[in-house]
């Protein structure tokens, strides 16, 4: 580490209180999703923060009341140096009125070396650490040669993928760090896709017709869609078991690739034979698979299940995969993300972690999903690296260790400085 950088990193300890105050400030904005549509004030704060550090701001509504913020700090020699995206979500998990919090979840307190409040771990801690690192770099009048792009996005907790919007808007870089909850592990992730499976009869019958439909001599070729959905669910269970036996991925307990029947809706009322049944499923798959592949596998398997049933053969189930929001159109996708440990960005991040924490970082997989998959899908090499652990994410009395936040801020400061001082051909100017 150069003398110059070393001096800036030391500032994190000296100005720790400012870092804690920044985290508390971010937590104090009430941004739970659901209900969502409440991030404007918080996002304006982040935009102003970045603007004061010399970033050019792009802020736009993904939904009314939920704007994305992207700040771009153009490097002084962009052409020849590496660029970086730092990405985090401003929304937090919902808080139920009946939850038994020790404190008001949006009036954070410091207690026994931790900050308690909704979003401390997931993931206002990551945002605060990254923002403070950038602030210290800028205040030291450090002109980075490479571009630095900061994305504060909305909608992550409800599958609204503010990050996807950033990718569609054309933001790209040589590497991206998603500063979401990872307990300072460098992580990839499996993926999630939701889907609706519908069993639908072409005809509707009065419930008095049931005898004709199911008993000898009734002569009515029909079925109850709810009962037929039982075969679909059994088929899904068989496939889930088959996946558990045949597929695996390092870092995941066997059988993490699940198909969850989450919601079922069907029938019109008690005087009718149910003529439609809809099943909402959640599918978790491994980092080396795509959502297109797993959706196709499920469809093909259920087509065969339908072939084995006289009625489903004529009335096969239909599918609607994914969606853009759990609250708008009841669907979501989180693409999977594989981390390449040989990528120069991953190696430098690991090295920065080692320099600050004096231990080797763990490179593994997240047991949940983040926006990292969208950046990966846009062709940007990406890793998840943030403070806080998953026991705290979404939990009552969610908290974050201040020591970990301080370490995190130092690692990010070191990493951002060094990555944006790395030449495009890999030459490290900061050595
Ligand atoms: Zn998160």
Q: Are 88 and 360 in contact (CB under 8 A)?
A: no
pLDDT for 430 equals 67
Domain match, 374 and 315 both: no
pLDDT above 70: residue 357: yes
Domain match, 17 and 124 both: yes
Domain match, 57 and 140 both: yes
Ligand 1 mean position, distance from CA 189 (Å): 13
pLDDT for 428 equals 81
Ligand 1 mean position, distance from CA 69 (Å): 17
Q: What is the mean pLDDT of residues 87-104?
A: 94
- Residue 56 lies inside a defined structural domain of this protein: yes
- Residue 430 lies inside a defined structural domain of this protein: no
- Residue 68 lies inside a defined structural domain of this protein: yes
CA distances from 153 to 20, 31, 34, 214 (A): 21, 12, 15, 54
pLDDT for 1 equals 72
Q: What is the mean pLDDT of residues 324-350?
A: 96
Domain match, 226 and 305 both: yes
- Residue 330 lies inside a defined structural domain of this protein: no
DSSP label of 283: E
Ligand 1 mean position, distance from CA 87 (Å): 11
DSSP letters of 195-252? Answer: EEEEEE-SS--BGGGHHHHHSTT-------HHHHHHHHHHHHHHHHHHHHHH---TTS
Ligand 1 mean position, distance from CA 123 (Å): 5
Domain match, 373 and 262 both: no
- Beta-ladder partners of 89: 153
Domain match, 185 and 251 both: no
Can you tell me the distance from the alpha carbon of 404 to that of 387, in angstroms, rounded to the nearest whole number? 7
Domain match, 251 and 133 both: no
Q: Are 418 and 336 in contact (CB under 8 A)?
A: no
Token pair 């009869």 in the structure block, residue: 201
Ligand 1 mean position, distance from CA 257 (Å): 20
Q: What is the mean pLDDT of residues 211-240?
A: 97
pLDDT for 3 equals 86
Ligand 1 mean position, distance from CA 191 (Å): 14
pLDDT above 90: residue 431: no
Domain match, 119 and 218 both: no
Ligand 1 mean position, distance from CA 140 (Å): 30
Can you tell me the distance from the alpha carbon of 127 to that of 133, in angstroms, rounded to the nearest whole number? 10
Domain match, 70 and 94 both: yes
Residues marked as catalytic: 91, 156
3-state secondary structure of 300: helix
Domain match, 178 and 210 both: no
pLDDT for 115 equals 97
- Residue 329 lies inside a defined structural domain of this protein: no
Domain match, 13 and 162 both: yes
Which residue in 237, 229, 242, 243 sits closest to 306, CA to CA?
Answer: 229
Kindly state the percentage of the chain with pLDDT values over 70: 100
Confidence band for 330, pLDDT divided at 50, 70 and 90 = very high
Domain match, 185 and 198 both: no
Token pair for 75: 């490097």
Q: Domain of residue 130: give its range.
A: 3-189+337-419
β-strand 363-366 against 186-189: which pairing, if any?
A: parallel
pLDDT for 429 equals 75
3-state secondary structure of 191: strand
Confidence band for 209, pLDDT divided at 50, 70 and 90 = very high
DSSP label of 122: I
Which residue in 332, 172, 180, 191 sits closest to 256, CA to CA?
Answer: 191
Token pair for 166: 């950033």
Tell me, what CATH number does 81's domain have?
3.40.630.10
| Spatial CB neighbours of 16, under 8 Å, sequence gap ≥ 6 | 402, 406
What mean pLDDT is reported for the chain?
96
Confidence band for 273, pLDDT divided at 50, 70 and 90 = very high
Q: How many domains does the chain have?
A: 2
pLDDT above 70: residue 45: yes
Confidence band for 302, pLDDT divided at 50, 70 and 90 = very high
Which residue in 1, 117, 109 sits closest to 430, CA to CA?
Answer: 1
- Taking only the tens place, the pLDDT of each residue in 109-167 is 999 999 999 999 999 999 999 999 999 999 997 789 999 999 999 999 999 989 999 99
Q: What is the mean pLDDT of residues 8-15?
A: 97
Can you tell me the distance from the alpha carbon of 414 to that of 408, in angstroms, rounded to the nearest whole number? 10
Is cis: bond before 44, omega within 30 of 0? no
Using the Cα atoms of residue 283, residue 297, residue 287 and residue 162 in order, give the sign of their dihedral. negative
pLDDT above 90: residue 242: yes
Tell me, what CATH number does 292's domain have?
3.30.70.360
- Residue 158 lies inside a defined structural domain of this protein: yes
- Residue 425 lies inside a defined structural domain of this protein: no
124-150: buried (b, 16+ CB within 10 Å) or exposed (e) per residue? Answer: bbbbbbbbbbbbbbbeeebebbbbbbb
């Amino acid at each position: 580490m150069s003398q110059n950088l070393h001096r800036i990193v030391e500032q994190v300890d000296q100005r720790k209180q400012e870092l804690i105050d920044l985290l508390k400030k971010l937590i104090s904005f009430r941004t739970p999703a659901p209900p969502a549509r409440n991030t404007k004030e918080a996002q304006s704060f982040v935009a102003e923060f970045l603007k004061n550090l010399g970033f050019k701001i792009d802020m736009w509504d993904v939904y009314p009341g939920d704007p994305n913020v992207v700040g771009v700090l153009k490097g002084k020699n962009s052409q020849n140096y590496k660029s970086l995206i730092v990405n985090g979500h401003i929304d937090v998990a919902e808080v139920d009125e009946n939850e038994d919090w020790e404190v008001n979840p949006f009036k954070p307190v410091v207690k026994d070396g931790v900050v308690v409040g909704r979003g401390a771990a997931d993931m206002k801690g990551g945002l605060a650490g990254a923002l403070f690192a950038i602030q210290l770099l800028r205040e030291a009048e450090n002109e980075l040669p490479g571009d630095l792009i900061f994305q504060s996005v909305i909608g992550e907790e409800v599958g609204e993928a503010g990050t996807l919007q950033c990718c569609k808007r054309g933001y790209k870089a040589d590497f991206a760090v998603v500063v979401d909850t990872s307990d300072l592990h460098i992580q990839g992730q499996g993926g999630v896709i939701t889907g609706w499976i519908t069993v639908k009869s072409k005809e509707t019958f009065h419930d008095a017709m049931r005898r004709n439909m199911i008993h000898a001599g009734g002569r009515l070729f029909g079925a109850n869609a709810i009962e037929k959905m039982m075969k679909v669910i059994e088929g899904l269970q068989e496939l889930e078991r088959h996946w558990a036996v045949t597929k695996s991925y390092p870092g995941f307990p066997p059988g993490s690739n699940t198909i969850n029947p989450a919601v079922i809706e069907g029938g019109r009322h008690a005087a009718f034979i149910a003529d439609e049944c809809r099943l909402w499923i959640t599918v978790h798959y491994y980092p080396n698979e795509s959502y297109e592949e797993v959706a196709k596998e499920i469809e093909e398997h259920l087509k065969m299940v339908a072939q084995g049933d006289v009625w489903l053969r004529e009335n096969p189930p239909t599918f609607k995969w994914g969606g853009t929001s759990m609250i708008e159109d009841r669907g979501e996708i989180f693409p999977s993300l594989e981390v390449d440990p040989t990528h120069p960005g991953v190696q430098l991040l690991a090295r920065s972690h080692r320099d600050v924490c004096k231990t080797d970082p763990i490179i593994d997989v997240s047991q949940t999903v983040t926006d990292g998959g969208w950046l990966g899908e846009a062709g940007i090499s990406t890793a998840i690296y943030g403070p806080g652990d998953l026991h705290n994410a979404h939990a009552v009395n969610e908290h974050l260790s201040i020591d970990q936040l301080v370490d995190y801020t130092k690692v990010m400061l070191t990493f951002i400085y060094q990555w944006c001082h790395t030449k495009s051909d890999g030459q490290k100017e900061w050595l």
